Structure 1
Amino acid sequence: MTTATRTGILVGAVLALTWVVFGFWSFFFVGVAMAVGALIGRVVDGKLDVSNVVEAVRGKRTSS
């Protein structure tokens, strides 16, 4: 299995266990926290330029 596959399995397992043990809102919060952590990680690695994202959200730039 590839590293991405293993990571996906781990993320899915954490979210599923969170939902089963703590309920929907905890599941939702953990999912949002994981997404924010992933975004921060991409910024730190230099794989995501925040200024381009801000411009795209403002509508000043398109992805094409």
Structure 2
Amino acid sequence: MKPTVVGMAVGAVLAFTALLFDFWGFLLMALFIAVGAFLGRAAEGKVDFRSVRDALTGRRSSS
């Protein structure tokens, strides 16, 4: 699926959630989408956990 179509689908889901559940429901849905995207990329093997850990702890690498 193309990134544009995925972005449109995510936007539609977030807009629908904002209409139904107000602001906090919208934020919770956005958080779940972000976590789901991260887990999906991890399952595909496209996430380097060492670089994620370094970014969260404030370390930088030249590679």
Normalising by the smaller structure, the TM-score range is 0.7 to 0.9
Equivalent in the alignment of 1:17: 16
* Two-structure CA RMSD over aligned residues (Å): 1.7
Q: Give a deviation string over 1:15-52, Cα, whole Å, max 9, x none.
A: 00100111111110000000001001111101111122
Letter in 2 for 1:24: F
Number of residue pairs matched by the alignment: 63
Runs of 4+ in structure 1 deviating by more than 6 angstroms, as ranges, are: none
> Aligned residues: percent identity?
44
**How far is 1:58 from its partner?**
1.5
For normalisation by structure 2, the TM-score amounts to: 0.86
Q: Structure 1: any 5+ residue segments left out of the alignment?
A: none
Aligned partners of 1:54 and 1:43: how far apart in 2?
Answer: 14
Find the counterpart in structure 1 of residue 5 from structure 2: 6
